[in-house]
A and B are shown apart, each in its own frame.
Chain A
């Protein structure tokens, strides 16, 4: 059974077709890279997978279960987590609080108006663990607003990993990072266990190609090339629309 199956997914904004009959089949544990020029519809495709946008037609299945009409928030409970291209974190809170919110999102405790969140040691400890996993355990109490861009990228990943996702969607996790930071995030992603399926959008081909097992090339909302890393890189259409000659 596939981890993530997308069938004939289409979406238009007025006369603009942002996704046209996209099919995607991602195996459990696979590392899939989605590439394409700006405006190809990559993030829009992610938004439809996570339910933030409703497709006009087509279906999204998570481990065989049709989730096309499942609200976005429920998909997190079903094992789907994502990071954002533009960092959307809680800037005035500590890093630890950011990750605690991610953990709380899947806990029934989130409805509790009577207990003190800080005293929920299982949430706080799990948040600490998630931060240690991305190498930020020592600065958990630091306000997010006082962290570097690279650290925030790692907080994004820590929040997604804290939810123990089955399918993790990473939207340009290397964007805006220095060479050293890219290597750190790359190592971090490589260390994610195989029970997590990863679909990643990325433009930084040096690190992304190293990470990906299969690649899908989108162009004007359509899948025009798909295959193994070597197949896609060698395909003349990839060079024509994306990599250049």
Chain B
């Protein structure tokens, strides 16, 4: 049995038994947060990591789906209708977002997505009849699939875990697929990909839709977890935060966004209980990552591990090409 498989089994067992070994319900809730932020970061990583398109408006997209859930529930619709409608609204918003932002790439793409994110934030703040303005929308209750209420933190955690594992599996399949390879090709050599017969814009568009789907799924979990959505949750800081999750963990890697999400959520939710200036600590951590592991925590740790292995005089595996689809 390979080391990787053993690590995967251990990780799965650890995730499945979180409510049993975590010291309290608070930490089970923190685990739920890590998982849905990880889905959010995985969604952004499709664009920023594998597509080379850094979006600074993804929190706005998360907000559209979250507000759609809140709005539908507020108007008396049931959870299934609210969730399905929110997914459709979220994907439609992503399609429009992609059509507008994919007119450019590089700095231009960042600026367009930043502007779109700010527009969505502005609408959430000012379109009071729909969004409740600064007061936001409160939710009452969570769904009860198959008669199992998701109100208890442990039940909600397990639902989030199932959705996370399905989302992660979808990302793995996508990244290893021809479309995933094409997306990475458009990141590295768009001109060459065009000459080889690929429709670069369309590839980026479908990647955006997949990213939007994951963002919408994360949004639904987010809004049901918090039971509340307000403009504060979808501002530029929130977009930057999820981007930092991707970059700090390792953009363009499978596990990087998950590690990044865990880092940010733990510092925000746990360390902040012990250190008043936790924002500063998070800043120092990011600076340290940029200096010592500019490629991100996951690939950086792998690099240091290989170096230590070589230093110890152990024969290391021959270097192979960076396989984003297989890689850490």
Contact = CB atoms under 8 A, between A and B. Distances in A.
Bin chain B's interface residue count.
Answer: 20 to 34
A73 B206 contact: no
B63 interface: no
A113 B197 contact: no
B321 A113 contact: no
Contacts of A101: 181-182, 185, 193, 196
Contact of B196 (A52, A92, A116, A159): A159
Contact of A97 (B181, B193, B198): B181
A110 B321 contact: no
A113 B177 contact: yes
A105 B191 contact: no
A141 B195 contact: no
A243 interface: no
A109 to B, nearest CB: 5
B191 A88 contact: yes
A125 to B, nearest CB: 15
A144 B192 contact: no
Contacts of A113: 173-174, 177-180, 206, 210
Given A112-B177, A113-B173, A113-B174, A92 B197 contact: no
A217 to B, nearest CB: 26
Interface in B176-226: 176-182, 185, 188-189, 191-200, 206, 210
A141 B320 contact: yes
Nearest to B326: A118
B277 interface: no
Contacts of A159: 196
A97 B178 contact: no
A143 B179 contact: no
Nearest to B181: A117
Given A88-B189, A113-B173, A52 B194 contact: yes
Nearest to B179: A113
Interface string B53-64: 000000000000
B108 to A, nearest CB: 19
Interface string A88-126: 111111100100111011110111111111101000000
A219 interface: no
Contacts of A114: 173, 177
Nearest to B200: A73
A114 B179 CA distance: 8
A97 B197 CA distance: 16
Contacts of B210: 113
B321 A73 contact: no
Nearest to A84: B192
A17 interface: no
B319 interface: yes
Contact of A77 (B174, B179, B193, B197): B197
Nearest to A143: B321
8 contacts: A73-B197, A81-B195, A100-B181, A101-B196, A110-B198, A111-B178, A113-B179, A117-B178
Interface of A: 50, 52, 72-74, 76-77, 81-82, 84, 88-94, 97, 100-102, 104-107, 109-118, 120, 141-146, 159, 163
Which 4 A-B pairs have CB atoms at the shortest separation, nearest pair first? A143-B321, A105-B196, A76-B197, A105-B197
Interface of B: 173-174, 176-182, 185, 188-189, 191-200, 206, 210, 319-323, 325
